[in-house]
Amino acid sequence: MNESSADALTQEALSHWYVRLLANGVSYMDASEVIPKVRSWREWCRLWMDRAAVREREAREMEEAGRMLSAAEAYVRASLAYHFAQFVYHEDIELKAEAQRRKVAAYQRGAPHLDPPAERVEIPWPGGRTLPGVLRIPEGAKGEDGAPCVVLVAGLDSTKEEFYTLEGVFHARGIATFAFDGPAQGENADLQLQPDFERVVSVVMDHLAGDARLDSSRIGALGVSLGGYYAPRSLAFEPRLKAGVGVCGPYDMGEIWEGLPALTRQGVCASFQTENEEQGALKSQEISLRGCLSGLDRPLLIIHGARDRLCPVEQAHKIAAEAGDSCELVVYEEGVHVCNNIPFLWRPLAADWLADKLDVDT
């Protein structure tokens, strides 16, 4: 696809997030076949939902043949296609919501048969709501007091289902994972974004601490993109977290607002439920680590890409400077946003680092 064959928003999405699709489990075949069909950004969601339906039919055929693990993996592929149909799409809210529902349904159809199985958890949240999550405990996760666990924190437009490929890196090291949808994420897209996300993570920690299969003294957190802000902030305020990793998150979103892609600004406005972009710009200033990390007494790893055009690397340096000796900073010169072009480098690094901090013998 060249610039004359699609509109500006489609080009923006591809420029910033094409590698994200591939890094998180969308096949090159699907990307290379669906994307060239997009002529207008309004078409994006429907075209990807059509492809997701194809992958879902394949999953059902495998299921009917009794190939349960294969079917489960195929349902994940369908779920990811539904997810990326709507991830930064705000043109048709009803269609976006339909893609969200189908994403969850497809994932849940395969969840019990994944290896390790994905157990749906619903943690009570105010207003009669829940924080829906996915707990996966690998067979090799060991410990006298239960398995170590990493809480995976999504960003502005990622959700619990998008972590599938990342989860496997931790499972291979004997670490359980818990991914969830917080306010303004996934199944909770209608709840307003909460800058003080440590309140959300504390509720998650309350639940995990009550699960006898997990070692509550060996729980860490990893967040990507806006989750790379949520995770360090949660580490600063939630003492039960033993360590944290932030990947390409902002130090202060207000500082970088003007340089954000239009689709990201749309997402921030939608998540804060503002009436216009001017209000969104003001609300973005609430997303700040300023003054939060001074005196941090547990280890923090910050990973960033020098070629990140969404969240400039200077933001990572500010996080590291405020966190001081508790923080390790790794900058990949070739890395883009979330270093999605080099997942084979940063993911093992983060998993090994957390394994060490959580006292996991790998």
Write out the DSSP string of 244-296. Answer: EEEES--SBHHHHGGGS-HHHHHHHHHHHT-SSHHHHHHHHTT-B-TTTSTT-
Tokens of 100: 């969200």
* Angstrom distance (rounded) from CA 147 to CA 212: 9
Distance between first and last Cα of the chain: 44
* Angstrom distance (rounded) from CA 18 to CA 11: 10
| Predicted local confidence at residue 262, as pLDDT | 92
| Predicted local confidence at residue 12, as pLDDT | 86
| Predicted local confidence at residue 210, as pLDDT | 97
Tokens of 283: 């609300």
| Predicted local confidence at residue 6, as pLDDT | 58
Single-letter amino acid code for the residue at 139: E
| Predicted local confidence at residue 195, as pLDDT | 98
Single-letter amino acid code for the residue at 99: A
Single-letter amino acid code for the residue at 240: R
- Burial (CB < 10 A; 0-12, 13-18, 19+), residue 145, is exposed
| Predicted local confidence at residue 4, as pLDDT | 43
SS3 243: strand
Strand runs (DSSP E) across the chain, as ranges?
Answer: 119-125, 129-136, 147-153, 176-180, 214-224, 243-247, 300-305, 327-332
**What are the residue numbers of the active site?**
225
**DSSP summary character for residue 66:** T
Among 160, 298, 268, 320, CA closest to 224: 160
Sheet with 243-247, side-by-side order of all strands: 119-125, 129-136, 176-180, 147-153, 214-224, 243-247, 300-305, 327-332
Q: What is the pLDDT of residues 89-99, one digit of tens each?
A: 999 999 999 99
Can you list the residues of the chain whose pLDDT is less than 50? 1-5
Measured CA to CA in angstroms, residue 287 lies from 26, 141, 183, 304 at distances of: 30, 35, 14, 18
The answer to whether residues 253 and 263 touch, using CB atoms and an 8 Å cutoff, is no
* Angstrom distance (rounded) from CA 273 to CA 316: 27
| Predicted local confidence at residue 2, as pLDDT | 41
Beta bridge partners of 332: 305
Measured CA to CA in angstroms, residue 143 lies from 91, 149, 210 at distances of: 48, 11, 16
* Angstrom distance (rounded) from CA 153 to CA 239: 17
The answer to whether residues 272 and 280 touch, using CB atoms and an 8 Å cutoff, is yes
Please report the domains of the chain, with CATH numbers, ordered by start residue.
3-108 (1.20.1440.110), 116-357 (3.40.50.1820)
Angle, CA of 58, 133 and 66, to the nearest 5° = 30
